[in-house]
Amino acid sequence: MTTSSDKTVTAVAHTNIALIKYWGKQNPELIIPYTGSLSLTLDQFYTQTSVTFNANLDKDQITIDGQPVTGKSGQRVHNFLSIVRQESGIDLNAQVKSTNHVPTAAGLASSASAFAALAAAASKAAGMNLSLTDLSRLARRGSGSACRSIFGGFVEWRKGSDDTNSYAIPVETTHLNDIRIVALTIEKHQKPISSREGMALSVTTSPYYPTWVKVVEADLENIKAAIQDDDFTRFGTISELNAMRMHALTLSADPDFLYFNGDTLTAMNEVKRLRHSGIECYYTIDAGPNIKVICQQANVQTITDTFSNLFGPTKVTVAKPGPGVKYL
């Protein structure tokens, strides 16, 4: 076992928005999903994390935005660091300092950027030199969606069947490069039901879950075809419908639960109104009340003006396709 290391490594990873949703684990321990998924990495939301393995620490020390992390969140990071220690052969506690430029646990995929950055910084600080594929596999162990934040642009998570073959790959394309995501931060507070809890409840109690698995397979192939065909209408239609089908699982669970609030419904209806008036846009929603409006550059100003008037300009952020993980 390695017993000394002073190297601090800092990594930055951006969040991603799932357009074909990941909702449910067939192996909760390894975080192997029931379905594949597809996302777009965003430039405006990111996490910066520094990791140092230090022989003088008697336990892992973890801070986010300058505040110590304890409880379930702290244990989750500790468990992930233990995976890194096991795979690298290093036997040291770590100091982790993370700055999150994403509202935590509000449905903006903060765990994706957080664990992607942690995987990159911790593995390199522990002396590992992982390929992007292996880094994606490692990030998955912290948060499933984090495997996609290793890469920029459009990214597909291949579900696989075990730890070796469940990882993300970039979707190579020159199409839909003028796509924009107008993120509406309706609610910044932590959601009452975590994604992990919501997924488990949906998998075990929704009578529609087996159908969801089949639907996602078709949606995934269809949206990849839409990207390669540069067909924004088809792309947006599939994204919106897939999101609603995911949320149908939460409504059909026992007990049922809902991530939306009143402003979520207002925003959804406004997107439909804009679309019917000739401003082409679509919505997608993850596990939280916040809406992401999918559009193209030509319609950004109209859409941002509309939602700034509805919710206030501070709640509206325009994001472009973002980069993959990088080291500082």
Classify residue 312: in a domain, yes or no: yes
Q: What is the chain's pLDDT, residue by residue, as a tens digit (328 residues)?
A: 444 557 899 999 999 999 999 999 999 999 999 999 999 999 988 999 999 999 999 999 999 999 999 898 899 999 999 999 999 999 999 999 999 887 554 446 588 999 999 999 999 999 999 999 999 999 999 999 999 999 999 999 999 999 999 999 999 998 898 999 999 988 877 777 888 899 999 999 999 999 999 999 999 999 999 999 999 999 999 999 999 999 999 999 999 999 999 999 999 999 999 999 999 999 999 998 999 999 999 999 999 999 999 999 999 999 999 999 999 9
Classify residue 134: in a domain, yes or no: yes
The domain that contains 306 carries what CATH number? 3.30.70.890
Same-domain pairing of 138 and 17: yes
DSSP string covering 5-49, please? Answer: ---EEEEEEEEEEEEE----EEETTTTEESS-EEEEEEEEEEEEE
Domain that holds residue 150: 8-174
The whole-number pLDDT of residue 6 equals 76
Same-domain pairing of 159 and 208: no
The domain that contains 15 carries what CATH number? 3.30.230.10
DSSP string covering 129-165, please? Answer: ---HHHHHHHHHHH-GGGGGGGS-SEEEEE--SSTTT
- Among 113, 147, 174, which residue terminates a domain? 174
Same-domain pairing of 168 and 189: no
117 contact partners, CB below 8 Å, separation of at least 6: 11, 12, 13, 46, 47, 48, 49, 98, 325
Classify residue 167: in a domain, yes or no: yes
Same-domain pairing of 62 and 117: yes
- 171 close to 153: Cβ distance less than 8 angstroms: yes
The whole-number pLDDT of residue 106 equals 45
- How many distinct structural domains can be found in the chain? 2
Same-domain pairing of 20 and 153: yes
Lookup: tokens for 191: 């959601």
Residue 122: what residue type? A
Classify residue 326: in a domain, yes or no: no
Same-domain pairing of 170 and 297: no
- 46 close to 323: Cβ distance less than 8 angstroms: no
- Among 174, 193, 210, which residue terminates a domain? 174
- Among 112, 145, 174, which residue terminates a domain? 174
Classify residue 162: in a domain, yes or no: yes
Same-domain pairing of 195 and 118: no
Same-domain pairing of 169 and 199: no
Distance CA 146, CA 135 (A): 10
Classify residue 222: in a domain, yes or no: yes
Q: How many CB atoms lie within 10 A of CB 57?
A: 13
Same-domain pairing of 39 and 97: yes
Same-domain pairing of 166 and 219: no
Same-domain pairing of 140 and 52: yes
